[in-house]
Amino acid sequence: MTAPALDAREHAELWRSLIAARMNGHAYDYDDVPKALPNIYALVSVERRFAPSARATSQASRSSWRLSVRGVGRTIAECQWADKRITEAVEQHRALIGGKASTLPRHETSDAPKPDDGRYSSLTHWTYSL
């Protein structure tokens, strides 16, 4: 069996496009944020994660991933709006990377909106396998 796509950039690009479709195009990689920030936006990152030995993930063709998305708004309500759109974009969607479909993303953790450099932000993590 061949190893699944291991470039986190491929994963991040896919999730960013899904989230951007729900956020009026305002989903960015952490190093790609525009100088003129929109009122509401999302920051997306993906990293490979440890997969504990389990029948579903121990095969050589499986890899596990963590999707982290920060919703940002000027107010708590805007941040909550972003969180809702982000969740709608992520949950119930499978990543298709290198011709392989992922498992459905599973919610891992979420933070409530908190003050963040003059705005409010929250961070949500999902995990999935490919």
* CATH number of the domain residue 17 falls in: 3.30.2000.20
Structural domain count, the chain: 1
pTM, to two decimals: 0.87
Kindly give the interhelix angle for 8-22 and 76-90, rounded to the nearest 10 degrees: 120
Residue 57 pLDDT: 45
- Write phi, then psi, for 93 (nearest 5 degrees): -120, 135
The answer to the question of residue 2 being in a domain is: no
The answer to the question of residue 47 being in a domain is: yes
Residue 51 pLDDT: 64
The answer to the question of residue 42 being in a domain is: yes
Residue 1 pLDDT: 41
Give pLDDT tens digits along the chain (130 positions): 445 578 899 999 999 999 999 999 999 999 999 999 999 999 999 999 876 655 554 454 578 999 999 999 999 999 999 999 999 999 989 989 888 899 999 999 999 999 999 999 999 999 999 8
Nearest-5° Cα angle at 47, 62 to 26: 120
Distance CA 11, CA 6 (A): 9
The answer to the question of residue 1 being in a domain is: no
CA end-to-end span of the chain = 13
**Domain residues for 28?**
8-51+61-129
Distance CA 121, CA 44 (A): 13
The answer to the question of residue 18 being in a domain is: yes
Helix (H, G, I), strand (E, B) or coil at 130: coil
- Write phi, then psi, for 10 (nearest 5 degrees): -60, -45
